[in-house]
């Protein structure tokens, strides 16, 4: 090493690689209004599409008269199911193996359903024309309760399925039944539950909610009839899958379709599915020969474009007298709405809900999920949750609390007693997963210590006495959660979406001057991929992150990948990035050895260069190597420096965390105050600690909304009661709690850099932490279980029912 060479620690820091809290490169444009979202796209002659939607939750359509709408100046066309039928596009396949109406075909099945698509010169004329379309409806009986949907005399919702006793996921036993999905050992579980010392039983409901991203869903479809090319810009979390599906549905060859996800204003699972707006825009562009834009408004998004959760989970958990869990069973009634448009890997009709044994070593378990149709919007998307994992975590974390009550035991101690031990990993769960790594006891003890758990319990005991003595009207709740996530779908052997294996990809090109571009099969919606994936590469190939462009979302340029959801980008595309980087490095090693006139094995990697072993002053930097790749004829090597990796992960990754919420509750008003929220996350190797912290803040705030007020509620007629932001709770800075974040690091053994996903963890962990805090506040007064969302009214009602209002 000569004097000019900074020490390798300094050189490593200059790369801003793994572990660096590098500032987000994308924020320069986002904070200056220079983002490019779907609605920013404007093209010459572009038309605008808007939907006529059903005011009824269940009705037969007797007539559609579009004459007045068509007569309005500026209206180009009005599409109905009758126009789409000859193209066989009036129905479309869903991600869950069901079919869904694109435009109402004979009847409507939920309020807000798409009935006709108006195409006009601009969105104002389109909106006026929507009002002029006359639709005749004949009301039918409405079913909003999933249990009532299964009654023998319940109205038939899906007439198109009449007589079909087989669905995409096995037998259907009733006209509103979709599937039954079973996991685990039923007989063995029943035996254990039947003879246990202690059994706790409870119905846990995780209400219907909605991802509600800042930007709603939309697209611009542009059919170039001269060149036969279709381009679609859209809010797509999986652009490649959209292109393949568009090709299969439309018959246009895949190479003639280009799908582009530009900047996306939050996805949260809302932008994984395929919606009627996309199909109608594409058809309208093909028919008119000009670009057609469709962007839904907030009410349309909340009412019709997917939903999340709506799981009724009936659980039984058993234990010995001293609190060792012996068995668990769960029966879920899953309300899927009018069509099964759940976004899950094909073989998992209830997603990864079978992670519901959580962080605990439960020897035997059984799970059955029944999906049913109701007159509600379709969806069942993984709203910040890797396919029903947040439901699973909420279920088990409530069941643990319920069991603790039954045992008269401290809930923190009950958890500690039953955690999977560090030496049990890789751990095979009773419901079929292989947890890759974990160290739950360490995380738990760190968390309890950080909040002074013992001290909090003493304070709570005093508070209860004071309350009983009439000295205060406020209760104190301590909400505990230890969650285990399962992210990184997934191994191609068991995970696919519409037959497409869930691998992911990265392609890297090093330019002659030593800077680079990396393209991935994923697509950021705010997560900061352009920042973090460059960091992975910087550490792998020794090029500063600032010299690496990361590009995603254009199917014409990016390698095929399954997109961003289920916190899969880091576990899958992140792994592909590291592997592609290693291919670059392997070639760079040969180039360096040639330049240094030594054997390939006689050079070694040192942060940003290859140096001769034993002679560190003789080296070639990556910058020099890159130039040589384009400038020298190297015997036996092709010119250039590029690599691509398609990564099929051998397993999912299992991030985990310990969350604790301390809440004050006013029993007279039902109001709450979050006094403290502590979130410890373990996502293995941490790429960018600042981004991780941002992910935790964002996800915990969404979790706060869900637990404390957010809900898509219906009345008996199937009217959506919370279809605007006046009624659908979205926390602002004012309501958002303060968070303290913390971490432990337990790398994933099978990921090339040991990283696990983290984006969804805070939603999975925070919902039960908030909810458990509410329950815990009332535990001493006899509460076992009440349903979310814990808005002021419901908390007040709980206090009232417990006799706390005197």
Residues that are catalytic: 237, 384-385, 760
Minimum distance between the CB of residue 743 and ligand PCD, rounded to whole angstroms?
A: 10
Cis before 125 (ω within 30):
no
Contact between 761 and 485 (Cβ < 8 Å): yes
* CA–CA gap between residue 214 and residue 236 (Å, rounded): 14
* CA–CA gap between residue 324 and residue 202 (Å, rounded): 19
Give me the 38-77 binding string for ligand PCD, x by CB under 6 A, dash otherwise: ----------------------------------------
Please list, residue by residue across 671-681, b when 16 or more beta carbons sit within 10 angstroms of its beta carbon and e when fewer do.
ebebebbbbbb
Structure tokens at 352: 């990864």
Minimum distance between the CB of residue 602 and ligand PCD, rounded to whole angstroms?
A: 35
Which member of 344, 760, 776, 791 binds ligand PCD (CB under 6 A)? 760
* CA–CA gap between residue 137 and residue 151 (Å, rounded): 25
Stretch in the footprint of ligand PCD (CB under 6 A) among 329-337, 467-475, 524-532, 705-713: 524-532
Q: What share of the chain is helix, strand, coil (3-state, %, to 5)?
A: 30, 25, 40
How far does CA 752 lie from the centroid of its chain?
23
Q: Does 757 bind ligand PCD (CB under 6 A)?
A: yes
Cβ nearer to ligand PCD, comparing 438 with 670: 438
Cβ nearer to ligand PCD, comparing 629 with 683: 683
Give me the 435-464 binding string for ligand PCD, x by CB under 6 A, dash otherwise: ------------------------------
Q: Does 26 bind ligand PCD (CB under 6 A)?
A: no
| Residue 412: exposure state from Cβ atoms within 10 A (0-12, 13-18, ≥19) | buried
Cβ nearer to ligand PCD, comparing 54 with 209: 209
Q: Does 723 bind ligand PCD (CB under 6 A)?
A: no
Q: Does 649 bind ligand PCD (CB under 6 A)?
A: no
Cβ nearer to ligand PCD, comparing 295 with 691: 691
**Interacting positions 236-265 with ligand PCD (CB under 6 A):** 237
**Which three-class secondary structure state does DSSP give residue 79?**
strand
Minimum distance between the CB of residue 572 and ligand PCD, rounded to whole angstroms?
A: 8
Q: Does 318 bind ligand PCD (CB under 6 A)?
A: no
Minimum distance between the CB of residue 236 and ligand PCD, rounded to whole angstroms?
A: 11
Q: Does 564 bind ligand PCD (CB under 6 A)?
A: yes
**Interacting positions 529-558 with ligand PCD (CB under 6 A):** 529, 532
**Interacting positions 157-176 with ligand PCD (CB under 6 A):** none
Q: Does 359 bind ligand PCD (CB under 6 A)?
A: no
Q: Does 18 bind ligand PCD (CB under 6 A)?
A: no
* CA–CA gap between residue 299 and residue 310 (Å, rounded): 20
Degrees, nearest 5: CA angle 698-507-385: 25
Q: Does 684 bind ligand PCD (CB under 6 A)?
A: yes
Cβ nearer to ligand PCD, comparing 64 with 691: 691
Minimum distance between the CB of residue 447 and ligand PCD, rounded to whole angstroms?
A: 19
Minimum distance between the CB of residue 700 and ligand PCD, rounded to whole angstroms?
A: 11
> Strand 166-167 to strand 474-484: parallel, antiparallel, or no bridges (unpaired)?
unpaired
Contact between 264 and 185 (Cβ < 8 Å): no
Q: Does 683 bind ligand PCD (CB under 6 A)?
A: yes
Degrees, nearest 5: CA angle 766-771-775: 145
What does each C-alpha distance from 474 to 443, 460, 666 come to in angstroms? 30, 11, 5
Which member of 266, 544, 723, 765 binds ligand PCD (CB under 6 A)? 266
CA dihedral angle for residue 690, residue 693, residue 694, residue 697, rounded to 10 degrees:
-160
Minimum distance between the CB of residue 752 and ligand PCD, rounded to whole angstroms?
A: 12
Which member of 592, 692, 707, 769 binds ligand PCD (CB under 6 A)? 692
Which member of 691, 700, 767, 799 binds ligand PCD (CB under 6 A)? 691
Number of residues that bind ligand PCD (CB under 6 A): 38
Closest C-alpha among 233, 178, 568, 239 to residue 380: 178
Minimum distance between the CB of residue 552 and ligand PCD, rounded to whole angstroms?
A: 10
Q: Which helix (H) or strand (E) holds 146?
A: helix 146-149
Q: Does 565 bind ligand PCD (CB under 6 A)?
A: yes
Structure tokens at 557: 């340029």
**Interacting positions 693-722 with ligand PCD (CB under 6 A):** 695, 698
Residue 183 DSSP one-character state? E
Q: Does 482 bind ligand PCD (CB under 6 A)?
A: no
The CB-side HSE value for 392 (13 A sphere, CA atoms) comes to 27
Minimum distance between the CB of residue 158 and ligand PCD, rounded to whole angstroms?
A: 26
Q: Does 103 bind ligand PCD (CB under 6 A)?
A: no
Structure tokens at 669: 């008003």
Contact between 66 and 80 (Cβ < 8 Å): yes
**Interacting positions 365-384 with ligand PCD (CB under 6 A):** 382-384
Q: Does 758 bind ligand PCD (CB under 6 A)?
A: yes
* CA–CA gap between residue 59 and residue 259 (Å, rounded): 36
Q: Does 20 bind ligand PCD (CB under 6 A)?
A: no
Q: Does 759 bind ligand PCD (CB under 6 A)?
A: yes
Stretch in the footprint of ligand PCD (CB under 6 A) among 161-169, 560-568, 671-679, 773-781: 560-568
Which member of 526, 553, 737, 747 binds ligand PCD (CB under 6 A)? 526
What does each C-alpha distance from 632 to 275, 594, 626 come to in angstroms? 52, 10, 10
* CA–CA gap between residue 37 and residue 418 (Å, rounded): 48
How far does CA 422 lie from the centroid of its chain?
28
Cβ nearer to ligand PCD, comparing 19 with 363: 19
Structure tokens at 6: 């900074």
Structure tokens at 220: 């611009």
Q: Does 566 bind ligand PCD (CB under 6 A)?
A: yes
Which member of 189, 525, 651, 771 binds ligand PCD (CB under 6 A)? 525
Which member of 94, 374, 527, 741 binds ligand PCD (CB under 6 A)? 527
Which member of 281, 305, 390, 688 binds ligand PCD (CB under 6 A)? 688
Q: Which helix (H) or strand (E) holds 578?
A: helix 575-596
| Region for 654 from its dihedrals, namely left if φ exceeds 0, alpha if ψ lies in -120 to 50, beta otherwise | beta
Cβ nearer to ligand PCD, comparing 27 with 322: 27
**Which three-class secondary structure state does DSSP give residue 628?**
helix
**Which three-class secondary structure state does DSSP give residue 720?**
strand
- Determine the straight-line distance between the first and last CA of the chain, rounded to whole angstroms: 80
In whole angstroms, how large is the CA radius of gyration of the chain? 28
Cβ nearer to ligand PCD, comparing 81 with 516: 516
Minimum distance between the CB of residue 186 and ligand PCD, rounded to whole angstroms?
A: 30
Minimum distance between the CB of residue 562 and ligand PCD, rounded to whole angstroms?
A: 11
Considering all CA atoms of the chain, what is the largest pairwise distance in Å, rounded to the nearest integer? 90
Which member of 51, 91, 236, 268 binds ligand PCD (CB under 6 A)? 268
Structure tokens at 348: 């998992």
Torsions phi, psi for 142 (to 5 deg):
-105, 140
Cβ-Cβ contacts under 8 Å for 9 (sequence gap 6 or more): none
Minimum distance between the CB of residue 237 and ligand PCD, rounded to whole angstroms?
A: 6
Cβ nearer to ligand PCD, comparing 670 with 684: 684
Give me the 222-241 binding string for ligand PCD, x by CB under 6 A, dash otherwise: ---------------x----
Minimum distance between the CB of residue 294 and ligand PCD, rounded to whole angstroms?
A: 20
Instruction: List residues binding ligand PCD (CB under 6 A).
Output: 237, 266-269, 382-385, 525-529, 532, 564-570, 683-688, 691-692, 695, 698, 755-760
């Amino acid at each position: 090493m000569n004097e000019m060479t900074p020490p390798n620690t300094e050189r490593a820091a200059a790369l801003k690689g793994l572990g660096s809290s590098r500032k987000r490169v994308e924020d320069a444009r986002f904070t200056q209004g220079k983002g490019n979202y779907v609605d920013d796209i404007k093209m010459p002659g572009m038309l605008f599409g808007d939907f006529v939607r059903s005011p009824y939750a269940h009705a037969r359509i007797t007539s559609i008269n579009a004459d007045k709408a068509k007569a309005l100046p500026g209206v180009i066309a009005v599409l109905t199911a009758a126009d789409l039928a000859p193209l066989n596009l009036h129905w479309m396949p869903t991600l869950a193996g069901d079919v869904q109406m694109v435009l109402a075909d004979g009847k409507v099945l939920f309020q807000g359903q798409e009935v006709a698509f108006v195409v006009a010169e601009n969105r104002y004329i389109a909106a006026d024309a929507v009002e002029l379309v006359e639709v005749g409806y004949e009301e039918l009986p409405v079913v909003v309760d999933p249990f009532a949907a299964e009654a023998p005399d319940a109205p038939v919702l899906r007439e198109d399925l009449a007589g079909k006793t087989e669905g995409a996921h096995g037998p259907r036993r009733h006209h509103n039944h979709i599937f039954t999905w079973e996991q685990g050992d039923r007989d063995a579980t029943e035996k254990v539950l039947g003879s246990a010392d202690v059994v706790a039983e409870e119905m846990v409901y995780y209400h219907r909610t909605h991802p509600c991203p800042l930007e709603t869903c939309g697209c611009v479809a542009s059919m170039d009839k001269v060149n036969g090319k279709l381009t679609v810009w859209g809010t797509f979390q999986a652009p490649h899958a959209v292109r393949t599906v568009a090709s299969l549905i439309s018959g246009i060859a895949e190479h003639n379709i280009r799908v582009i996800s530009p900047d996306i204003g939050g996805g949260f699972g809302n932008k994984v599915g395929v919606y009627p707006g996309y199909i109608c825009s594409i058809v309208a562009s093909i028919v008119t020969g000009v670009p057609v834009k469709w962007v839904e408004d907030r009410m349309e998004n909340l009412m019709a474009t997917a939903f999340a959760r709506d799981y009724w989970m009936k659980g039984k958990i058993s234990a010995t007298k001293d609190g060792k869990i012996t068995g668990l069973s769960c029966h879920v009634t899953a309300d899927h709405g009018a069509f099964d448009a759940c976004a899950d890997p094909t073989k998992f009709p209830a997603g990864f809900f079978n992670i519901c044994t959580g962080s605990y070593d439960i020897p035997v378990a059984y799970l059955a999920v029944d999906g049913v149709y109701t007159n509600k919007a379709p969806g069942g998307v993984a709203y910040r949750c890797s396919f029903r994992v947040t439901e699973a975590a909420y279920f088990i974390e409530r069941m643990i609390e319920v069991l603790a009550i039954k045992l008269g035991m401290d809930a923190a101690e009950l958890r500690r007693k039953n955690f999977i031990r560090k030496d049990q990993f890789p751990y095979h769960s009773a419901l079929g997963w292989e947890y890759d790594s974990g160290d739950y006891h360490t995380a738990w003890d760190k968390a309890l210590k950080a909040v002074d758990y013992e001290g909090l319990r003493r304070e709570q005991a005093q508070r209860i006495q004071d309350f009983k003595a009439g000295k205060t009207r406020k209760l104190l709740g301590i909400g505990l959660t230890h969650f285990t996530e399962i992210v990184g779908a997934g191994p191609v052997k068991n995970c696919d979406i519409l037959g497409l294996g869930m691998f992911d990809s990265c392609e890297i090109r090093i330019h002659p001057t030593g800077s680079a571009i990396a393209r991935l099969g994923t697509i950021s919606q705010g997560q900061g991929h352009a920042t973090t994936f460059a960091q992975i590469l910087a550490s792998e190939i020794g090029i500063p992150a600032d010299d690496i462009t990361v590009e995603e979302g254009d199917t014409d340029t990016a390698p095929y990948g399954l997109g961003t959801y289920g916190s899969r980008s880091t576990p899958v595309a992140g792994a592909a990035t590291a592997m592609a980087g290693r291919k670059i490095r392997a070639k760079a090693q040969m180039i360096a050895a040639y330049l240094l006139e030594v054997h390939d094995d006689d050079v070694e990697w040192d942060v940003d260069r290859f140096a001769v072993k034993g002679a560190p002053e003789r080296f070639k930097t990556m910058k020099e190597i890159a130039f040589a790749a384009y400038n020298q004829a190297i015997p036996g090597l092709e010119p250039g420096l590029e690599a691509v990796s398609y990564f099929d992960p051998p397993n999912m990754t299992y991030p985990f965390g310990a969350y604790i919420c301390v809440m004050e509750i006013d029993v007279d008003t039902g109001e709450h105050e979050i006094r403290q929220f502590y979130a410890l996350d373990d996502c293995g190797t941490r790429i960018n600690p600042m981004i991780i912290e941002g992910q935790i803040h964002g996800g915990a705030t969404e979790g706060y909304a869900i637990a404390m007020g957010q809900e898509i509620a219906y009345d008996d007629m199937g009217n959506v009661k919370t279809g605007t932001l006046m009624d659908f709770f979205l926390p602002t800075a004012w309501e958002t709690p303060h968070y303290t974040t913390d971490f432990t690091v337990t790398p994933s053994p099978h990921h090339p850099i040991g990283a696990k996903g983290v984006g969804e963890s805070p939603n999975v962990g925070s919902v039960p932490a908030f909810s458990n805090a509410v329950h815990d506040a009332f535990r001493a007064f006899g509460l076992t279980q009440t349903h979310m969302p814990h808005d002021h009214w419901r908390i007040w009602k709980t206090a009232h029912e417990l006799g706390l209002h005197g």
